[in-house]
Structure formats: structure tokens, C-alpha cells
Amino acid sequence: MAIDDVTAAARRLCPEPVEGISVIQGGANSRVYELTGKSGRKYALKRYPIHDDRPRQEAEAAALQFLEKCSLQAPRLIARDDEKRFSLLSWLEGEKVSSLNDADVQQFAEFQIQLHRMAGAEERNRIGAAAEACISGARILNQIGTRLDRLHAVQRDTPGFDVFMKERLLPAFEEFERRSRATYRELSLDFDSDLPQEKQCLIASDFGAHNALRQSNGKLAFLDFEYFGWDDPATSIANFIQHPGMNLSDSQKQAYRSAVLTYIPDAQLAKRLKALLPLFTIRWCAIVLGELLPEKWRHRLESDPNFGNWEEVKQRQMKKAEALLSLQN
């Protein structure tokens, strides 16, 4: 998108004359611009991907309105242009979070608990499902299958990937599906039925250190809610403790798991989590391996032209997938 389009959006949405615009690099999906108004006040102008069928902008707008109601540390939505896919957000000061300490993990858990505590009938009517909501074992299988079908088309395009698929990923998928279904049967749970809406909770979905800022007082502020919506709380736990972008200790994973399990009054939540964790592992593998797809790479470059060398990225993603598989061995 030409800078003139960004400038036009900034002037259209900003409540005061714009004195400066600069690109914030590093966004893998949407691109964010730092605006400076005539008063010196800063704003974040966010451009959502044009060629993406997912309602990223709508999901984030609903999320930010809810988070403001909850008084949680997150940007505030100031204005939006749905046609051009721009949103103007309040600016949050803070530093990128390179690693999480135990207190940080507790803040993440408290954020998730507050989402559950504050959500009511209004949110059930107004906010939709999280992106790729994992509200049954069958839905997770379908998501994995769709992603693997795309990867099959490029299976021989990257050195070592064909062998990895045949010898590691696909056998693990078969074994993990068998294991998950067996656990469901043992627990007398229905693998194929959707979780009732009253047992679902609001989740950020893509939830980790990469979407947080450390403020001057040490507290975390949270960013990027493009996948926000209703899902099984087990998804929140699995996504956080297995997120390949973080290096949590076993005790930190257990702390997050215990905090969420303790607060949410669902006797079967821990059982569902135990049964589905192997499938969440495969799902994460398929997500990180999506970087091998040409269309995914074009999307990355659209967001950040300096994203990196594609061949190096592909090899790095295969190593991440291998590391994830080792968690279930």
C-alpha cells in the first residue's frame, strides 16, 4: 500500500492534525504505524491485511471495546475505517518482552481469568467465535487436516521437509489422534460434539510475550486481538503453554495451567485439556510450518518487507515443529 494511502487514513481517522508517521517493523500480519499529532500525542494506526478472509479488524474492535469495559491494560479503539481496513488505537508506551518471569506468567493468567469473569450475556450476543475455535476434537482435526493439505502441495519444495512429513509429522498425527480419542472414551466425553456455549470463555487466542509490552512500572500491557472470541478455555491454556514463540519453564507452564483451571468452574476442563494437548501440539506444528507456503510468505512480506530470508525461515520453522513434537514424546 502506498504511503499516500496511509497518510490519507491517518488524516481521516486522527482527531487532530498529524505531524509525523513512521512504520513500526516486525508485524507478521497487520502493519502498525506510529502517528504523532500536533499536540505531541501519539497514536497507533493499524492496517489489516487486504487479502485475508478472516474478520481481523472486526474481532479486534469487539475485543478492545470489551477490554476497555474490563479496565484491562490494552489499547483503546479511537476510530476505524472498515472499507480501507484501518483502525486508529491509543498508543501504549512500553518495551518488548523478550522473556517471561514468574510474575509475568501470573499476569497473563489473571488477564485470561478477568476475561472470563467479566463476560456476560451482552458479550455472548455481540462477540463471535475466536479464530479457528477449538470447541471439539473434531474441529481441531479438521483444522489440522486443512493445514496439512496445503503443506502436501509444497512437500518436496523445501530440503528435508518431505522426510519430516513422512517420518515424523504424519505418524505423530495418527498416534496423537488415537491417543486423544482413547482418552475421551475413557472419560466418557464426546469427541465430536461442540462444547456448549455456556462452558466457553473469551480468549485472545494468539496470547504470548510477543503480544505484550512491559510498562515503566513493570506491569504488562497486552496487544493484538485479531483472533479474539469465544472458545474452549482449554484452548487458552494449550496455546499459552505450548506457544513456540516462548520458552516457558515447566513450573511456569504449570502455574498458568493451575491458575486458569482453579478459577473456571468446569469439572471436565482439566480432562479435556489432558485429552486434547497432543492434538494442540500437531495444530501448532501445522501453524508454524505454514511459513513454507508461498502465499504465507507473500503475506509476511506485505506486512514487513524485511521479514527475513525465506529459506532460513523455513528451516527454522521445521526445527520449531520438531521441538513441539518432542514435548509429547
pLDDT digits (tens, 9 = 90+) for 43-56: 999 999 877 778 99
- 75 and 99 co-located in one domain: no
104 and 24 share a domain? no
Mean pLDDT of the chain: 92
Chosen domain end from 44, 64, 90: 90
| 133 shares its domain with 13 | no
Boundary residue ending a domain (90, 111, 143): 90
> Are both 216 and 100 inside the same structural domain?
yes
pLDDT in tens, 184-237: 999 899 999 999 999 999 999 888 999 999 999 999 999 999 999 999 999 999
Same domain, 177 and 55: no
Average pLDDT over residues 98-121: 94
**Euclidean distance between CA atoms 140 and 144, whole angstroms:** 6
- Claim to verify: residue 187 and residue 144 sit in the same structural domain: yes
Any idea which of 13-17, 81-85, 243-247 has the lowest mean pLDDT?
243-247
- DSSP 3-state of 175: helix
Domain CATH number, residue 12? 3.30.200.20
For position 284, what pLDDT does the model report?
96
Decide which of 32, 61, 90 is a domain's last residue: 90
Q: Indicate whether 110 and 78 sit together in one domain.
A: no
**Other C-beta atoms lying within 10 Å of the C-beta of residue 126:** 10
In the chain, the number of structural domains is: 2
Same domain, yes or no: 267 and 288? yes
Q: Are residues 80 and 156 in the same domain?
A: no
Q: What is the CATH number of the domain that holds 188?
A: 3.90.1200.10
